[in-house]
Amino acid sequence: MSDSGNDSTHDDDHVYLSLAEGHDDGGDARWAFGTGFEDPLYGVDTTVPAGVDAGELAATCVELADDALVSAQRLAQWCTRAPELEEEVALANIGLDLLGQARLLYARAGQVDGTGRDEDAYAYLRDAGDFRNVTLAELPNGDFAFSVVRLLVLSSWRLAHFERLAAHRDPVLAAIAAKGVKELTYHRQYAAEWAVRLGDGTDESHRRMRTALDQVAPYIDELFTAYDVRGEVVAVLRQVTEAAGLSMPRFEPARGAGRDGQHTGHLAPLLAELQSVARAHPEATW
């Protein structure tokens, strides 16, 4: 993976310290992330700054964490199915980046929403109607072209939003976003390179990319209902599609209302697979 997603020399890395180092304090292991770490925000001042609405902060963290968790699960489904072993590893690593982001965001939400929930409770003990991910993240993988286009759109959108969140008044969310920018820059680069390779490839790969763009297009407008990053995302998509010999997708009125908990029938089976072991063995550690 590109170093852009793994640079450990920056000041904001204190937020991620517990993701890289174990603790010998007897902390319980976690189901989902298998870390054995006590707290993903270990050692960080989690006091909500004056002037920051705790409810809004928690909602933002949960939404972005849900996007990341569901996207990571879809990417994990490419294991043993990707066109090449190298791409299987790359997609798995992108998924792991998103899992790391989800864990930190859930942990921050639990600190400020008054429930005291940990990241496992958010990931494993909520039903589909409680999730707030955008619809595009939960759609089935389709063929490789569809997954490439979806990754291009979601990573471009998430990167633009994280760049803004890096200046958030909450220093914890700002640090999470700053670190995420490095990872998402690589995710967008990976997807863009494949989009150009396929769009400017054979007649068949070009056709599949055109189809994928048409399939993703109806769900793009939903991404802009909450975050005003349309200009940045459209500029990226225009640049990539032109380089790939493709035309820009035509945005349709937003289809889907995932932020309101209204999901397609695809999310519940995805969560059932994700949550099955944790629900079968509640409170277990390993």
pLDDT at res. 237 = 96
Query: pLDDT tens digits for 1-33?
Result: 334 444 434 444 433 233 233 334 444 443 344
Cβ–Cβ under 8 Å, residues 65 and 178: no
pLDDT at res. 38 = 52
pTM metric for this prediction: 0.83
pLDDT at res. 37 = 46
Q: What is the chain's mean pLDDT, rounded?
A: 84
Cα angle value 33/36/42 (rounded, 5°): 95
Measure the CA–CA gap between 78 and 148, rounded to whole angstroms: 12
Q: Residues 52-77: what's their mean pLDDT?
A: 96
pLDDT at res. 10 = 41
CATH of 9-256+264-280, one of 1.20.1260.10, 2.30.29.30, 3.40.1050.10, 3.40.50.300: 1.20.1260.10
Cβ–Cβ under 8 Å, residues 75 and 95: yes
Q: Which residue has the higher pLDDT, 255 or 74?
A: 74
| Nearest one of 40, 33, 34, 36 to 18, comparing CA atoms | 40
**pLDDT at 256 > cutoff 80:** no
pLDDT at res. 14 = 38
Q: Residues 250-275: what's their mean pLDDT?
A: 85
Select the highest-mean-pLDDT range: 135-144, 226-235, 255-264: 135-144
Q: Domain residue spans in the chain?
A: 9-256+264-280
